[in-house]
Chains A and B, each alone.
Chain A
Amino acid sequence: MSSNCSVTTLQLDSIGQTEPATVHLLPCEIEHDGPAEVSRFFTATIKDRKHEKTVSFRGRGLKGQEVSCPQGYTGLVLSEVNKPGSDQEDRTVKVSSVFHNLTYWNLETPPNSDDGIVMAMAWPDLAEAIHGPLDD
């Protein structure tokens, strides 16, 4: 962006020190950015039967499924090392955890192959087909 001339540095060497994270993608926007009691309230109440995961969040029924990151890709959870005072300052982010799969949740609807996140995972393959070098 032209208005933002700051440089963002990603500290990749922090990868080695991280634990793999369990990631849940919820079908809502939560106005919160910080720690949450996920295992106490959420993970503990997930029901996994007949290939269907169910849980509820704030009294609403969710149905979920696990998706894997595309082959050759790793999911990263990044966190800011020092919060910059203005958007002109340079920023440094480190990898706080990595993940190879995540559980995404739909509001009431059973997960299916038309869900955005499932379809999005096909992009790397498609990109490779479009942009990759030709074999021959």
Chain B
Amino acid sequence: MDLKEFEADNSVSCRLASSVPDICKTEACCLGIDEAGRGPVLGPMVYGICFCPVSKKDDLKELKLADSKTLTEAQREELFIKLDEAKSFVGWALQVLSPNTISTSMLQRSKYNLNAISHDAAIGLVQFALDSGVHLKEVFVDTVGPAEKYQDKLSQRFPGVEVTVRPKADSLFPIVSAASICAKVARDHAVKGWNFPEQMGDVDADYGSGYPNDPKTKAWMLKYLDQVFGYPQFVRFSWSTAQTLLDSKAVAVHWDDDEEDGEKAAARQNNTSMLSFFKAGSKTSGPQGNTHQPHRFFTERRLQSLDTL
């Protein structure tokens, strides 16, 4: 699998796709959707779709695909090659969501959670298949979380397409297994060959599975923690594992949209909290005091006269 396009800039999201078999443009097709790398604190999450004509479902069965999680890495590679060899009737597409995309989306001012990110990635891929001329009839989706709601959402979004959302779909429908294999192979390659844009020198590649509970992953995260910057972009900052480590080992960083106690924040910024006006013996001068209030022109621009450094 060629990930060059993603590797050229692994800070953003990237779409990779096979060519669309001609037969998929004329015959009614089924399409499977699955994801890889949802849980890990390291590396990208990959969404995958795979499609083939409904009439070719049996040919797909002959490839003996299975849920990617029950396969070894070598078996997945082998099956991906088989899928590639079946390109006369099987097509695939992937959305590689970089860890940096995941962090910045989830930590955005207006929160964009992982479920919404996942749904949008899946919808984007189905739309991509339609735009590429795939004659879609059936869509099968593996899901975590409530299947019914998701099924309604997808059915509404793609009228005329029969949508089936099912937990464990990757072990029930070969086309979903195929999608899960594509996604997992891409995720494996991306993690293994991660090109750190940070000047990290020789990075210890022994980061384990990337799952927060993997001791190797934990050890790696401790080793590469920087007290100011936190982590390289390979780490999902929005994961509680990363946040907890930063809270205890890195210096504190405060943003203006932090949900922080108002009085505490004011104290930290050396401002006067509203409440202090009501304290007994407060020295704060009121409107009658002779403290000079700078004009709004200066406060808006954060300009101050300095008489001491």
Contact = CB atoms under 8 A, between A and B. Distances in A.
B contact face: mostly helix, strand, loop, or mixed? loop
Given A44-B199, A47-B11, A59-B238, A107 B103 contact: no
Interface stretch (B61-69, B156-164, B221-229): B221-229
A91 B103 contact: no
Interface in A109-127: 116-117, 119-120, 123
Interface stretch (B76-84, B85-93, B275-283, B297-305): B297-305
A43 to B, nearest CB: 9
A45 B197 contact: yes
Contacts of A116: 300-302
Interface in A9-51: 27-32, 36-37, 39-42, 44-45, 47
Contact of B198 (A41, A91, A120, A123): A41
B124 to A, nearest CB: 19
A47 B301 contact: no
Given A108-B109, A116-B300, A29 B237 contact: no
Contact of A36 (B100, B229, B252): B229
A75 B302 CA distance: 16
Interface residues of A, number: 34
B107 interface: yes
Interface in A44-91: 44-45, 47, 56-61, 78, 91
Contacts of A117: 301-302
Contacts of B246: 58
Contacts of A108: 108-109
B257 interface: yes
B104 A61 contact: yes
A101 to B, nearest CB: 18
Nearest to A41: B229
A58 B309 contact: no
Contacts of A41: 198, 226, 228-229, 232
A16 to B, nearest CB: 21
Contacts of A37: 226, 228-229
Nearest to A121: B301
Question: Across chains A and B, which 7 residue pairs bring their CB atoms closest together, nearest first?
Answer: A59-B237, A59-B103, A41-B229, A61-B104, A120-B301, A36-B228, A32-B251
Given A59-B104, A59-B242, A119-B301, 9 more contacts: A37-B229, A40-B229, A44-B197, A44-B198, A45-B197, A47-B9, A61-B108, A116-B302, A117-B301
13 contacts: A1-B308, A29-B253, A41-B228, A59-B106, A59-B107, A59-B230, A60-B108, A60-B255, A61-B104, A107-B255, A116-B300, A120-B301, A123-B301
